[in-house]
Amino acid sequence: MLSSTDVGRRVVIRRRVRDASGAPKFADVLGELVAADDAALSVRPDRGGPLVTVPRDEVEAAKPVPPRRRRVSPIHLQHIAAATWQPYRRDTLGDWLLGSSDGWTRRANSVVAAGDPGLPLAEAIDAVVAWYQRHDQPARAQLVAVDPDSPAGADDPELRRVAGLDAALAARGWPVEAETLLLTAPIDRLRRAPRPASLPPVRLSETPTPDWLAMFGARKGLAPAATAVLTAGDTRFAEVHLDGALVAIGRGAIADGHLGLSAIEVAPAFRRRGLARHLLAALADAAFDHAHTAFLQVEEENAAARALYARLTFRLHHRYHYRTAP
């Protein structure tokens, strides 16, 4: 049953009412829970209109449900993604998000150049270069890939701004790196993905265990800033153990109704057993009350990962790439 700790969450309440003839029936109220006490539950309906207050003695069932699913723009989703992989050192330039993490991963050591920097373009680029110089790093920009000949690229002022920045950086000799796909999937579909019944349960924790860090670090390495990046925000860490050994890991982070998935690793000897699907379904299930869409990033050249995620119903939302100052 819902309580005051659920205030602010989206909920559904099935209440017992009577129709015009006096016959009993059920009616559902769907929306944000704004108050809960021993006497009643009050909900701001999704459909609009006044608050609905349901006396406790009319409640047949009540539970939290995921936030309303909505389509977000590439620019907005880049900002959401940044909130799920937060750099160790952070700053802003207008809407742009600057990050530095001792060089550990491109995502945590680049400016998310999405939105209005609040300066003329050339001055904004110079400010970014100066910021990274202060941190003894080359400037790197993360940019939504825009086709200027497409209707979306021509009509959307935010995408036109990104295309102009991309051209300006190219003119300064910043080469393109790591062309990347950002893929999305509905949370409810991901959590229902079939998985072998013989697999052991996924262990979830709010912080990574030493074994989790060791397995992840074996491929990516772990700079001093890595743990700060991995644990920032609303995160969950997943592990699967077989015969006492850690064989698969994953990470999920929630921001603005989205679940960012990362660090999905399966030990080579245990691949093709459904462990990646098992991990993703568990992370999606844990996030179900707080997120409606899962997303992940995969480099375009990684054909094996792209095929796996396509089987798990992930679809392309947009592309992005990096440019690094020479």
Using the CB atoms, write b or e for 287-320: b if 16+ within 10 Å: bbbbbbbbbbbbeeeeeebbebbeebebeebbbb
Model confidence at 313: pLDDT above 80: yes
Burial call 61-73: b when 16+ CB within 10 Å, e when fewer: ebeeebbeeeebb
Look at the block and give the residue holding tokens 């009540």: 62
Stretch among 46-50, 64-68, 110-114 having the lowest mean pLDDT: 64-68
- Model pLDDT for residues 190-213, shown as the tens digit of each residue: 888 888 788 999 999 999 999 999
Among 65-74, 118-127, 226-235, 255-264, which stretch is predicted with the lowest mean pLDDT?
65-74
**What mean pLDDT comes out for the span 222-246?**
92
Task: Give me the pLDDT at residue 205, please.
Answer: 95
Distance, CA of 319 to CA of 187 (rounded, Å): 21
pLDDT of residue 154: 55
1 pLDDT higher than 70: yes
> How far apart are the C-alpha atoms of 300 and 306, rounded to whole Å?
8
Instruction: Give the amino acid at 245.
Output: A
Report, as an integer, the average pLDDT of 153-162.
78
Q: How far apart are CA 245 and CA 261, in angstroms?
A: 23
Q: Domain residues of the chain, as ranges? A: 4-64, 74-80+87-178, 183-317
Q: Where are the beta strands (DSSP E) in the chain?
A: 10-18, 24-36, 40-45, 52-55, 59-64, 89-93, 96-100, 111-112, 140-144, 176-186, 203-205, 234-242, 245-255, 258-266, 293-299, 315-324
Q: What is the mean pLDDT of residues 86-109?
A: 94
Q: What is the mean pLDDT of residues 143-170?
A: 79
**What are 240-289's pLDDT values in tens digits?**
999 889 999 999 999 988 999 999 999 998 988 889 999 999 999 999 87
Q: Which residue has the higher pLDDT, 152 or 286?
A: 286
**Alpha-carbon dihedral of residues 254, 178, 97, 258, nearest 10 degrees?**
-20
pLDDT at 179: 93
Instruction: Tell whether the model's pLDDT for residue 214 goes beyond 80.
Output: yes
Whether 4-64 shares its CATH topology with 183-317 is answered no
- Check residue 72 and give its pLDDT: 85
Q: For residue range 16-61, list pLDDT tens digits in order.
A: 888 777 788 888 888 888 889 988 999 888 877 788 999 998 898 9
Token pair 């909130």 in the structure block, residue: 83
Mean pLDDT over the full length of the chain: 89
Which pLDDT score, from 0 to 100, does residue 260 have?
A: 96
Q: Closest Cα partner for 9 from 60, 53, 44, 61?
A: 44
> What is the fold, at CATH topology level, of the domain defined by 4-64?
SH3 type barrels. (2.30.30)
pTM of the model: 0.78
Give the pLDDT of residue 194. 81
Domain 183-317: assigned CATH number = 3.40.630.30
Better-predicted residue by pLDDT, 105 or 194: 105
DSSP bridge pairs for 232: none
Report the C-alpha gap between 298 and 48 in whole angstroms: 39
**DSSP 8-state symbol, 175:** -
